[in-house]
Amino acid sequence: MSKRGSVQTNLEYATARFLLSAMGLLPRRLAVGIGRMLGHTAYRVSHNLRRTGELNLELAFPGLSRPERERILRGCFMSLGRQLGEFSHLSKLSSDNLRCLVECEGLENLAAARTAGRGAILFTGHLGAWELSSVALSLLGHPVRFLVRRLVHQFG
């Protein structure tokens, strides 16, 4: 990674960390509302990310009109902002208050796998606050491990 890329990554991390910490001090509903506003702002000012999203949506949904793809992309940015507000409160989650955010179905399958001395592989879509599922499962007594790959951005 170039020195410029490293500086940019560190700056992005510090900004996200500051936002998460500051929003975590606010009531959850206010943090979520501010997150939505930040998502809206990011949609307006983040030209590179918006362009990447536009290209991806064009590839994935060539039959959709441009206004429809823009509506979807704007919604994605708003969702990411909302999730920032939710994530700022993850440290306050417990198995008791988790139920207001997450509905878990099929936990009996994980319990059966554990009873049989086996693990389970979970697949998820990259939709909504899917990252919250790992926190939820862990709080409900089903620790999770991840298989990931490094993100690679290409701007054309």
Of 40 and 2, the one with more pLDDT: 40
**What is the value of pTM for the model shown?**
0.71
Of 94 and 65, the one with more pLDDT: 65
d(CA 78, CA 113): 37
* pLDDT tens digit sequence for 69-86: 999 999 999 998 998 998
* pLDDT tens digit sequence for 89-130: 988 888 788 877 788 888 899 999 999 999 888 877 777 677
Q: Could you tell me if 82 and 39 are in contact, meaning their C-beta atoms sit under 8 angstroms apart? A: yes
d(CA 121, CA 145): 10
d(CA 106, CA 140): 12
Residue 4 has pLDDT above 70, yes or no: no
pLDDT for position 145: 82
The candidate with the shortest Cα–Cα distance to 27, out of 85, 91, 84, 78, is 85
pLDDT for position 153: 62
d(CA 40, CA 66): 18
Residues 6+ apart with CB under 8 A from 49: 42
Residue % of the chain over a pLDDT of 70? 91
pLDDT band at 139 (very low <50, low <70, confident <90, very high): confident
Residue 133 has pLDDT above 60, yes or no: yes
Residue 155 has pLDDT above 70, yes or no: no
Terminal Cα distance for the chain, rounded: 18
d(CA 98, CA 92): 9
pLDDT for position 149: 76
Instruction: Specify the DSSP element, H or E, that contains 13.
Output: helix 3-24
